[in-house]
Structure 1
Amino acid sequence: MLKLENIDAYYGYIHALKDVSLEIKEGNIVTLLGANGAGKTTILKVISGLMKPQKGGITFGDKSLTGQSPEKIVKFGIVQSPEGRQVFPELTVKENLQIGAYTQKDRKEAAKSLEKVFAYFPRLKEREKQDAGTLSGGEQQMLAIGRALMNKPKLLLLDEPSLGLAPLIVKDIFSIIREINRQGTTVFLVEQNANQALSISHHAYILETGKVIHHGPAQLIRNDPKIKQAYLGGH
């Protein structure tokens, strides 16, 4: 579905991504693990067209994404829920979600998307007239994911969806991500909560200082003693 091949990317003189290749197969949840500063968000920026790689290519199905604008990439069906949620605090929950449907010209389709989001997140339905700035952190995260889903993505990019959330809310968020995937959306998940991410993923990549150092089926990675020690707090 999505392929990155030999990607190099720089911030000025800083070599942020070094010969990165990865593949996301249709229907899968793929997790990208790595410490702060490893280059995880840079990979998302490259996929979304917010950053141009100096070397390498990106393909989505039969389309080349290299050099495409972020707007065009969204229209191809790749939508990102950003780190830190970034909801519009003075707009209501419903208005935030409607902004997410800006590429949908058909109002009936947009209304269907809204109902689907409310089915995933009943709490948002209860608070649809409330200003987004008054929601809890977990509810704002649900809203950010819901807003991305309003675009009916083929590939959903999630950047640190569990960041700063209480463990019970994290469990809820991951169970909803799994359900979104079950209903047909491919998911690329960037996470520091390695245990939770690997528990719902099909495949995983590990990034260290801009390089992919390991990848494989998520359950094998989860049970690898070296990876447990480095990323999962195990011995």
Structure 2
Amino acid sequence: MLKLQNIDAYYGFIHALKNININIKKGEIVTILGANGAGKTSTLKVISGLLKPQKGKIKFNNKSFNKYTPEKIVSEGIIQSPEGRQIFPELSVEENLKAGAYTRKDRNNIENSLEEVYNYFPILKERKKQYAGTLSGGEQQMLAIARALMAKPKILLLDEPSLGLAPIIVKEIFQIIKDINKEGTTVLLVEQNAYQALSIADYGYILETGKVVLEGNSKELLVNTDIKKAYLGGN
């Protein structure tokens, strides 16, 4: 469905991504793991068109979109929920959600989509008239994901959805991601919480200093000794 082939990308003279190869199949949850500075967010920026690769190909459903603008990529159904949530704090919850649907042409179905995201996130329905900036951190993360869902993604890109959240909220967020995937949305999940990410993913990639150093079935990565030592606190 989505392929990154031999991608090299730079910030000025900084070589951020080095010969990255990633393959995401329809219906999967794929996770990208790594420490800060490993290249996880840079990979998402390449997919979203915010960082143009100097080498390599990006293909979505066998179409090359190296030269697509971010707006065109969104219109193709590749939607990102960014790190840090980036909600609109002075708008209501419902206004934030409707902003997520601004690219859609089927305006008559937006109310149905609102009800769908409220089914995933009932707390947002309770808070729909509340200013988004007054929500808790966990509720803001739910809003960020729900806003991305309002765009009807074919692939949902999630950048550090567990960042800064209490463990009980993290567990809830990851269960919702599983539910979203079961309903047919392909998910690319960038995370530092390796255990939670691998627990719900089908396949994983480990990045270090802009390179893929390990990849495989998520269940195999969970029991990999090197992964345990580096990310899961194992001996």
TM-score by length of 1: 0.99
**Counterpart-to-counterpart distance in 2, 1:57 and 1:106:** 31
Distance 2:71 2:113 in 1: 20
Report 1:1-235 matches (<5 A): 1-235=1-235
1:142-196 deviation per Cα after TM superposition (whole angstroms, max 9, x unaligned): 0000000001000000000000000000000000000000000000000000000
Give CA-to-partner distance per residue, 1:21-67, whole Å, 9 cap, x none.
Answer: 01001000000000000010000000000010000000000221101
AA aligned opposite 2:121: F
Cα distance in 2 for residues equivalent to 1:167 and 1:176: 14
The root-mean-square deviation of aligned C-alpha atoms, in Å, is 0.6
What is the distance in 2 between the residues matched to 1:226 and 1:216? Answer: 13
C-alpha distance in 2 between matches for 1:165 and 1:50:
27
Aligned amino acid, residue 72 of structure 1 = K
Partner SS, residue 89 of structure 1: coil
Q: Which amino acid aligns with 1:35?
A: A
TM-score (norm 2): 0.99
Distance between the aligned counterparts of 2:107 and 2:185, measured in 1?
21
What is the SS of the residue equivalent to 2:187?
A: strand
Give the Cα separation in 2 of the matches to 1:31 and 1:62.
21
**Which structure 2 segments of 5+ residues have no match?**
none
Separation in 2, partners of 1:142, 1:226: 32
Give the drift of 1:231: 1.1
Overall identity of the aligned pairs, in %: 69
Write the deviation string for residues 106-139 of structure 1: whole angstroms up to 9, x where unpaired: 2221111111100000000000000000000000
Letter in 2 for 1:195: Y
Shift of 1:18: 0.3
Question: 1:109 aligns to what SS in structure 2?
Answer: helix
**What amino acid does structure 1 have at the position aligned with 2:30?**
V
